[in-house]
Chains A and B, each alone.
Chain A
Amino acid sequence: NAGVTQTPKFQVLKTGQSMTLQCAQDMNHEYMSWYRQDPGMGLRLIHYSVGAGITDQGEVPNGYNVSRSTTEDFPLRLLSAAPSQTSVYFCASSPSGGPTDTQYFGPGTRLTVL
Chain B
Amino acid sequence: AQTVTQSQPEMSVQEAETVTLSCTYDTSESNYYLFWYKQPPSRQMILVIRQEAYKQQNATENRFSVNFQKAAKSFSLKISDSQLGDTAMYFCAFMKYATGNQFYFGTGTSLTVIP
Contact = CB atoms under 8 A, between A and B. Distances in A.
Interface of A: 31, 33, 35, 40-45, 48, 50, 58-59, 88, 90, 92, 96-103, 105, 107-108
Contacts of A50: 101
B107 interface: yes
Indicate the member of B47, B97, B105, B106 with the most A CB atoms within 10 Å. Answer: B105
B102 interface: yes
Contacts of A103: 45, 47, 103
B4 interface: yes
B91 A43 contact: yes
B100 interface: yes
Given A42-B93, A42-B108, A44-B105, A97 B100 contact: yes
A99 B97 contact: yes
| Count class of interface residues, chain B | 20 to 34
Contacts of A98: 100-101
A107 B44 contact: yes
Interface of B: 4, 32-33, 42-47, 50, 52, 91, 93, 95-97, 100-108
18 contacts: A31-B101, A33-B101, A41-B107, A42-B4, A42-B104, A42-B105, A42-B107, A44-B105, A45-B102, A97-B101, A99-B96, A99-B97, A100-B33, A100-B50, A101-B100, A102-B47, A103-B45, A103-B103
B43 A96 contact: no
Contacts of B91: 42-43
A58 B99 CA distance: 13
Contacts of B101: 31, 33, 48, 50, 97-98
B66 to A, nearest CB: 15
B44 to A, nearest CB: 6
A33 B100 CA distance: 12
